[in-house]
Structure formats: C-alpha cells, structure tokens
Structure 1
C-alpha cells in the first residue's frame, strides 16, 4: 500500500502519513502480526550473511559485512528455507529416482551453507562473549533442524528406494557412491527408528548440541583467563624472538615492561622448552593442562559425563552396545577392536622409548641442576632440549633461525607446484574481503594452463577469541554438479605474533604442523568430484593426506631453497641438516606416548559405563593400568579434549591419526624408493589421481591399493619412529627426515 501511494505521486507527505496512520488504526492483531512477519522476511532476504557471494574468483564471502546482529535471523531463515526444500523433495509425487531425490538434496541448502561459513568464522577465529550467547541459543535450534531432516520418514523412504534400486541396477560409479553415503548416513542417524525412539533421538541430539557448545566455550574461557606474567630477571634461556613476542603480549594486556605467556599451545610449548625458571614452567604447565578442570564455572567434568551418557543412550536406541560400535562401522577400522589392536601394537614400544628418554634427561638434570630434582612433566620439554643438544649437538633455537614463516609458506607453494602443478599468487590487496587484518589471500591456478582453481586464505596468528591449535577448512568446495564451483580453502594457525618488524620464527614441530594443515588445503584444492557429498571425509583416512605432506618439509629441495637464515639469507648448513636427520627419531617416545594416551583414553571413555564415571579418577586409573610414564601427560587431557567433546568429528576417532600415519609411513616409502625420490613424477601423479583428487568418491582402502599396489603395513611406521620391527633391522629412508608429530 505504501509503495502504491508514493509511486502515484498525487498525495503529499502529510497525506501519506495520515493514510498510513488510518490503516494502522483499523488493523486487527492478526494483520499486525502478518506485517511484522513480512518485515522480518524482508530483513532476512536482504541479510548480507545469506546473500549469494559476488565479486571476483567465482564470488567470495562478504567477510567485511559480518555483523553479529545478522547471524541469528540469517541462520533461522536459512534453516527454514532448507527445510522447505527438503519437504518439496520428500513430497514429490513422482517415483523416487537419483535425479529427483539425491540430486535435489545435493542442490539444496546453498543459503544455509553460506551462513554456516560466517558462523564457523565467529566460532573458531573471532569468538566473543556476545557471539557465545548467540551460539548457545542457536546450537539446540541447529540440532533440531538437523533432526527434522534425518528423521523425515518420507524423505528416507525415497532415499531407501533409490539405494535399493541401485543395488539391483548399479548407477555410474560416482552416483553409486553418493547414494551409498547418503543412505548410510541416514541409517546411522536413526531414520529407521520408531516414532517414539526418533523423538528421543532428536531430544538427545538437542541436549548434546548445547553440551558441545558449553564444553568448547569453557576451554576457550580458560585459555583467555589464565596468563602468566613475569619480569626481566626471569628471561633466562628464552630466545630473543619469544622475549619480544612475550613483551608485546604483556603490553597488549595492560602490563608494559613485563612479559606474558598466554595459555595456548604454541606459547606454552616454547616457554617449557627454553625457560630456565622451573617454578614458572610449573605454573605455565598447570595452567595449560588444567583447562576445563578448575572446579569453577568453566569446569567440564560434569559435561563429559553427561555427553557420554547421552551418546550411549542414543546408540542403544539403534541396538548398539556402545558408541564406538556405532561410530566406527563406516571408518577404515570398522570396529573398536581393530582400532585398539593398532594402538596397543605401538604403545609398548612408545612407553619403553619414553622411559629411555627420561633416563637420559635425569642424567643431564643430575649434572646441571643446582638442586637435586626428579623429572616432572613441566621439565620434559626443557631437559629433552638439553639432551638433544648433548646427544646430537642440535639446538632447537638454532634450527628456528632457518624456519621463518614467509619462507615456509613459499616452501609449501613450491611443494604444491611440484606435486600438483599449482601456482600461488597473492591477490591484490583489498580485492578480497577478510575477517581480520592479518588474514592474507592467494589465488591458486594451474601452472601449465593458467586455469583458476581457487583461493587460499591464511590466518596465521594467535589472538583473543581464536581457538587454539591449527586447522584447515573450506568456505566453498569443488563441484561440477550445477556448473563448476571453484575452491575457497583456508589454513588457520596460532603462531605467536611478533613485535612490529620482527620475523616469525617457528619450531620444527610447528613448521611440520604448518605443512600438515596445508595438506588438508591441497586435498580440498585437488578435488575433481561432481557431487558435494563426495567432498566428505572418512575420519581415519582424511588425516593421511595431510600427514603425508609433512614429509616434504625435510626434503633436500625444500631445505636448500627455503630454509634460510632470517638475517643472512644463507641456506641451512649441511652440518645442521645432518644433525636434524641424525636426530629424526629423537623424542619419539614422548611424541607417540602423549598422543596415544589421548587416543586410548578416548576409546576407553566411550567403552566404560558412564553412569558411575568420575572423569579425573577414570583418567588416572586408566593411565596407571596402561603404564603411562608419570613424567608425560596426555596431549589432550579429558576436561579440554575438544576434538572429542566439543563435537563428534573425532569422538572414538582420535586414533585415526595413528591409522593415517600407518598409511603415511607406507606411502612415504613408495616415494623414498622411487627413482626420483619425493619428487618422482610417476608416483606424484598416482598420489594426486588416487589419494587426493577423488576425495570420498572411492572407498579409501581401494584408493590406497590403487596407489600402492597393496594394503599398507605397520612396519614402515615402526621404522619411522625408530621402534623395533620384529624380524627386521631399522631401515633408513633415503635422506628423508621423519617428522615429529605436529599439533593434533
């Protein structure tokens, strides 16, 4: 009505207001509500978080238009739109086919996908107390939305029809795989349950969503809350680069003239490795490893019990005895017994090596410490570094001088060029919106043809509101389903931001992690699948590609061209390279034991009866039964094990890093034994063709056999870690240095 009046141009502004006032005065309550609903709909339709991405490179996220006030209405509207699409598919009167059911499902939810991109940025990269309130409100609504789809009976019957028809008359390979994955996912989510059980299943998921949000936010709160400040007289042993970064961290927190260790892995790890102040090391260690376990408002112990109870109840609705049985059925391991067998095949050798490492450290401590001490967990990194220097004449800080972030980035680009034929070019500044000033963007093209493949975003530094660790994600995945869509990939790290003008120097472990996460990005960028579902991953396989890429950090070509001294530009001396190679399996007892303890705990927790569980007591008793060395702590203690308790991606799946590392070590030997080594063209082509480009379009076990000609063997893993292989002597892999873990 208002538009009609104004467009007619015959009534004055006063008349317009009078007319509108008159209309309003006679509206019924129902009409008012309809108007409000229309206004809300109009707001949603113009919401920048829902809008189709525009601009160069096939369209990019409008990170410069992110406004938290838009998030909740955008999410609610996008979910409603997606549900309407699903209802239309489910109620199609035509017989179910791949085209009118599966393809339409693949096509649905574009607006929601865009909103989730922004939601993920707020959750992982830019969290605030205000966002966490919105997140807490949205989590149960998102769970409810998901249940409405997974429990849509008409939809599932159509999916089941297509699946059963495909079993009788197979579809083309990629379509057959999509149908299988979609059907299995719905079946695993309780689509076949009775109405009563479906309701309980949905209620459990809703409760879990809130618990996952609370668990993750509690850990983040403890990371922000606990900071150790120290003074100039307590700088002993610390590298210059860390001192400058610590001074900036203190100044940023209102304490100029002091120094700060933040409660993040990168900051903690460096401080524990180098600081001579044992008392401060203990304080920093306790802050980090007590996250979520301080008996306060951010304590996670009750959340753990509640999560475990609900997970078990949910899978028992479907007839499973425990959560691991349900979770692992479509993983490479298939069942918890296979996963446990692998872990326990490695565990004794790891613990035995850790005890040797402790004995070596105790000897150094006895010689050098002014007072008699026994090695404690906060001493491990410090004295391991002393042993490294003593045994191998290898100083980690000396190595760091050659590991400058910009050079490492170029080294990754070089590796991608050699293996994938990718070229990375910085995009013109300001041409692509970013969500934080430190984020940089590169265009990825084919080196030969110049074809645009995608963009790569890098968010490198730790800051308040950013979750700890390192991760990769996609904002848009490759498909050719409805026209070609190019990739928008990202890597996210938590390097300590240096003082202005200072270089970013990182440890060998952090450099390894940088390559690891870039491996995930290359997995996204190399995709050649048609359907969106085929970009999904199998958890104990999807870490394989990224772990494999770690190996190129220590190849001769990377070392000689990119590992240059940050001041002189001189390449890493051959003598230092030789020391690194000689020390390749150093500290593998620690690396393997701290990881495996977390992986074993993950499985034991989900096999235990949650009704009588005390998380701290269970953790201590289980580790004692396993023979965990008291000088080592789990990489992720239970109260801050976000991989497992802030979502379900890694729940009873943390072992997957080891499963993937079996594949990694075996595949690395294929390169090491090839004529061209790690840059052998033939092996590299097979790597891309079978292990990267198909994503989840092939069964992982089949894909690996296509690459290697056989199944992977555990022998290569044991050799890589310097552990004994029954009936074999240790085998050296052709001048290629074993990586040492990375952040998992």
Structure 2
C-alpha cells in the first residue's frame, strides 16, 4: 500500500496530509511504526556504551516520533470526525498501542539503563530541564510497573489492554446515544419561548433529516437553548431525561458495566503498583498530592458556596411558584435561571448573540494573543484539513512561523460533544538545535450558520472559545528542548490555569467594547449591556460551584474505593453527591454513564483540578488587573510560564510569575462568595 503516513508528508510545515489519508491507512501504518519505534528502543538497549543521559534518556525522547504523530492523528479524528470504520479500528488499535507502551515501560534492560542514569548521573553536568526529564522518565517507569515481578508485569499488561478497550468503548457508547436521540416537534404551540434563531436551527435539522417541523438533539447547541427557553415543561423533562439517561438504558450502549469494570481495573492497577487507591496513584504527580488534600479543598469550597447556592435556588423557586410549580426539578433550572437573569439584569443571551458572531470573537482572541504575546494568525488555504469546515492558521511571532492552529467549530454526527484543545504534533528541539514547532487544534460544538446568518455565540460560548484558546496558547508558545515536558505536558491540576485565565478577558469592559458589534449593523454592543455582562459575571455562581464540586466529589469517590459491587451507578452517584444537590432526585437518571471526562478522558481522580486551577487563574488575573490587563511586563512573565511547560515544578513556576504562592481570596471575591 502506498501509505502517506509512512512517507515524508511533503506539506507546508510537515502538516498531516489529510487529503491523502483514508481510514484504511491507519492500521498498517501504526503497526509498521510500532515496529520501527521498537527498533529504535532496541538500539538504545543494545548500545555497548555505559548508559548516560544522551544515549539513554534523550535517545528515548526522540524514539517513536512518527508513531506519536500517526496515532495522535488517528485518535483526534476518532473524536472529531469519526465513522463506523474508525470506531472499529479504535477498538483494535487501542489495546495494541497499550501493549506497545507496556513493551517499553516493562522492558527490564531498558529500565536498568534508565535506573543507572538516574542513580549515577552527575547532576552538575545536566541542565535543569534534563534533570526534570530524568526524574520524570524514571518515575514513568516505576509508575508503570518496571519494579514489579515478572508475574505482576503480565497482570499489568492485561489490565492496561482492558482499560484501553473499555475507555474507548465508553466514549463510543456516549456518542451513539447522543446521536440516536431526537425530539421531533410538528406542533408550533409546543415551541413557546424558543427564540427565532433556535427555531431556524431546529428547522434546518429537520430539513436535513427530511422531516416536517422541528428537530432538537442532545448536541449542546440544540440541547442547551431548549432547556433554557422552552416554556413546555413536559418537553424540557423529556429532553432532560434523554440526556441524563445516556448510556444508562437497557440496550447495547449501556455503560454501567463498563464504569464498574474501569473503576475495578484502575483500583487493581494501583494496588499492583503499591498504592492504596487509584486516586493515590494519580495524585502523586499533582499539585494536590493526596486524596485528603483534594477532599479538604472541595469540602472547604462546599461550605463557603452552599449558602449562596441555596439563596440562588430559592429565588428561582419563587419564580417557578408564580407559574404554579410547587416542586421545582432539575429540568426547570436553566429555564428559570434565564428568566431570573433577564429580570435581574435585563440581560438575554438571545439579545446578545447578534453581537458575538463567531469569526469576530475568534479575531478578538487573536487580538488578545497579539497584544499579550506578539502572535499573528494568518489563514492558510494550502494546508490539508480533515473536514471542509476546518480552518488552518499559520501562527507567526516576529514574522517567523511559531505554530499551526486548526479550528473546528460546529457539531457533526462524527464529532463527540463538548469542546477541547488537542495536539497533532508537539514541540521539541532536534539534537542540532532546530526547532520543531507544534500543530494545535481547537474543537467545539457551536451552532452552525443558518442561511445568511453566521454562527452566533451565546456569551457562555464566547468564554468557551477563550478557554480552549488559552489551552491552545499553552501549546503554541511551548519552548522546551524535550516534547514530553512541552506545552500542556504539565501536572493535570496546573493545565487548566492558561485556559481559565483567558476567560477573564471576556468580562473586561474595555476589551469587550473592542469586538462586540452587531453582525448586521456593525453597531457596538451598548455600554449598558456591557455593564450588565460584567455585573452578571457572578450570576448563579454558587449553584455552578456546587455543580462542579459534585462532579469532583463523585470522581474522587469512584477512585478511592467507595464504589462496591452491591450499589448501582445511579445510587452511588446520588449518595456521593447528596450534599451538593439542591433539587429533588429524578429516579433513573445519572451522569456517571456519560461522564466522559473521568471514564474516557484524562480527568480520573482529577476533576477537582478545574476548581483548583480557578484559584490560580483568579490570583494570576488579579495581578494583571493591578498592572494593566495588557501590561507588557506582566504579560512577558506569564508568557515565560506558558512557554516553560513542565520543565519547572508548577508551584515554583507560579511563584516565579507572581512573586508568591497563589491565594484563594481572589477566587472567592470574584465568585461573590465573600464580601
């Protein structure tokens, strides 16, 4: 087979040749590249020279680069543009790649060389980054079974293969359940309250399916506005139940058994490696170094936030009571929260959306990156892409290529829900010092254009775009020698700092004025509306905090041995999150079966990190507020933090930027949880 993944790409910046790749290319390419990567490892193992940093640690860093790019390309497509063939391949390739990873981590001769360098290297001859990589490499082996007996190494291999298959199946089941549901409405009287723009999108969805009337789905641009605006309570309940029972129903896509197996296997793996629980294992390499620290952090926030959250819900109940609802339910929350927001601030997402056309919001993010870090984004038409809706930008710094940025904004049946940043190629320096620059992607699910109307964002989607762009900046500004310490390769509870930091700009009046303009008239968003956005920044913050804390507590509960064989996923979830719940229970529902962050993503025993990073980002942005939100000196310090990746301990890196450790007061003040 003439396989483009196995030849020089011959594209601008060696970008992935999506226009020449088919699904059939991936398996043979990945199998061959595994063979080549193993040969590179064998060369290190059989080197007759004594092990040292250059011939062992650095050599390992440069092994398997082609495999990394091919597998990243495959799994990114499985998330953003999948189909039945790719999903089947994912089931086949995931355990094969897990086995390859174990072949390296459980290679006794290779580990002995790593151990020799770790034990005997003269650190005075190494740079700080090399010392950091050496420590990370040694720990990587130890944390992946290198110190185990031969029998236990085989057990570990089997566990990892099973986990790779199960997490992939979990994600695919959620996607299948999301795509399978539709709410088809033909009676216009059932659409009371829904804005024209939402109805137009629902009509376009129905037309696409060759149906009369309107179709709503579980994809965010359809689900969220329906729950927010639809006056028909029965239909809100129906849509809520469809979302909250995804992968929990009695069909082939049920994830309850998969959740149980994943939790059990993670626990077994942790114990095999000498840890009490999976959370103990994960948190050894986090800023929050133990489950106890995480629980103290979450419960302290719970105590502070719950009274505020209860007050917020009491206000919503008053509104609902006026509509004759005596017992408010979870599927009423978004509807009455929007009513209260409009009443309290005279602020409506639908009225704001015309001022936030997608391209203009993106250009504003580009402008912020230019003012902060000197980056320029140039749209390229000559770089292959995996879907016609994708755009590719050449990112320039001082006129020189810095990175590629792919953007993919709209929902499709082959794309999973949510928003994320990912990498096709990381950043590193070749042995001759030549820079290899990163290829970064942002993937979201914003409403697509309808007719002559461009994609218009809710304000929450504006902050989502800035959030993912913050992650992208972390990747694009990377400037390290070694890829495994580059960009977002940092402690997981530090990785959300750059993304959440960027959200702050969306609430700055001066910056909002620079880009919020009506897509038809070019009229600036009225000053009164900008004031309302800023004033409403803390709206329902207590409730939102409790919701995040509930997810964090549930995650830690699953991964500290509290889940047992006798308890259903539904009852376990409700027991573990009871203190964070402000509405009556809806029997038969649970988020766990579709909780992709912890069962198919990288957030197991790490969901708390969103709140942890909020402490960091609020404290960091308060520094910018003190000096000026585009202050060049402060921005240069933060740019060093971003470009340093994982080469420095995150707390030390933060102190270098801020001059002290982060303090929680800025977050509590911003959230309105203290006076």
TM-score (norm 1): 0.87
Q: Does 1:291 align with 2:246?
A: yes
SS of the counterpart of 1:542? coil
Alignment length (residue pairs): 668
- Corresponding position of 2:526: 573
Distance 1:240 1:592 in 2: 31
Q: Does 1:471 align with 2:420?
A: yes
| Alpha-carbon contact 1:301-1:615 (below 8 Å) kept | yes
Distance 1:296 1:109, change over 3 A: same
Distance 1:433 1:344 in 2: 48
Distance 1:238 1:678 in 2: 37
SS of the counterpart of 1:501? coil
- Corresponding position of 1:166: 121
Q: Does 1:385 align with 2:341?
A: no
Distance 2:339 2:128 in 1: 55
Distance 1:501 1:671 in 2: 39
SS of the counterpart of 2:424? strand
Distance 1:277 1:480 in 2: 58
CA-to-aligned-CA distance 1:123-177 (integer Å, 9 cap, x gap)? 1111112221111111211111111111011111111111122365451111111
Larger CA deviation: 679-688 vs 264-273: 264-273
Q: Residues 472-621 of structure 1: matches in 2 within 5 Å? A: 472-482=421-431, 483-535=434-486, 536-612=489-565, 613-621=567-575
Q: Which runs of 4+ in 1 moved over 6 A?
A: 632-636
Unpaired runs of 5+ residues, structure 1, are 1-42, 725-729, 731-744
Give the drift of 1:608: 2.6
Q: Residues 660-675 of structure 1: matches in 2 within 5 Å? A: 660-674=613-627
Give the drift of 1:53: 2.5
Residue 279 of structure 1, aligned match among 223, 234, 245: 234
- Corresponding position of 2:383: 432
CA-to-aligned-CA distance 1:62-121 (integer Å, 9 cap, x gap)? 111121111111111111111121122122121101111111111111221221132123
SS of the counterpart of 1:426? strand
Give the drift of 1:373: 4.0
CA-to-aligned-CA distance 1:213-256 (integer Å, 9 cap, x gap)? 1111110110110111113333221122211111111111221x
| Alpha-carbon contact 1:444-1:456 (below 8 Å) kept | yes
Q: Does 1:720 align with 2:675?
A: no
CA-to-aligned-CA distance 1:382-441 (integer Å, 9 cap, x gap)? 1001111112222222222211101101100000001110011111x2x11111010011
- Corresponding position of 1:643: 597
| Alpha-carbon contact 2:305-2:545 (below 8 Å) kept | yes
Q: Does 1:268 align with 2:223?
A: yes
Aligned-residue CA RMSD (Å): 1.7
- Corresponding position of 1:451: 400
Distance 1:201 1:611 in 2: 22
| Alpha-carbon contact 2:508-2:534 (below 8 Å) kept | no
Q: Residues 76-91 of structure 1: matches in 2 within 5 Å? A: 76-91=31-46
Q: Does 1:188 align with 2:143?
A: yes
Q: Residues 23-42 of structure 1: matches in 2 within 5 Å? A: none
Q: Does 1:117 align with 2:72?
A: yes
CA-to-aligned-CA distance 1:500-546 (integer Å, 9 cap, x gap)? 32121111111101100000111111111111111122110011111
Q: Does 1:47 align with 2:16?
A: no
- Corresponding position of 1:461: 410
Q: Residues 87-98 of structure 1: matches in 2 within 5 Å? A: 87-98=42-53
Largest Rg, 1 or 2: 1
- Corresponding position of 2:651: 701
Q: Does 1:207 align with 2:162?
A: yes
| Alpha-carbon contact 2:395-2:404 (below 8 Å) kept | yes
Distance 1:61 1:168, change over 3 A: closer
| Alpha-carbon contact 1:595-1:635 (below 8 Å) kept | no
Larger CA deviation: 205-214 vs 348-357: 348-357
Distance 1:632 1:264 in 2: 24
Unpaired runs of 5+ residues, structure 2, are none
CA-to-aligned-CA distance 1:655-707 (integer Å, 9 cap, x gap)? 11111111001111111111xx2111111111101x20101111100000001
Distance 2:643 2:320 in 1: 50
CA-to-aligned-CA distance 1:536-562 (integer Å, 9 cap, x gap)? 221100111111011112223431121
| Alpha-carbon contact 1:241-1:498 (below 8 Å) kept | no
Q: Does 1:333 align with 2:333?
A: no
Distance 1:153 1:331 in 2: 27
- Corresponding position of 2:577: 623
Give the drift of 1:609: 4.3
Distance 1:507 1:579 in 2: 15
- Corresponding position of 1:63: 18
Residue 308 of structure 2, aligned match among 341, 345, 353: 353
- Corresponding position of 2:54: 99
- Corresponding position of 1:240: 196
| Alpha-carbon contact 1:644-1:650 (below 8 Å) kept | yes
Distance 1:303 1:185 in 2: 27
SS of the counterpart of 2:448? coil
- Corresponding position of 1:16: none
Distance 2:352 2:450 in 1: 20
Distance 1:51 1:352, change over 3 A: farther
Distance 1:474 1:321 in 2: 33
Give the drift of 1:311: 0.9
Distance 1:651 1:635, change over 3 A: farther
| Alpha-carbon contact 2:449-2:455 (below 8 Å) kept | yes
TM-score (norm 2): 0.96
| Alpha-carbon contact 1:51-1:111 (below 8 Å) kept | no
Give the drift of 1:333: 0.5
Distance 1:631 1:472 in 2: 35
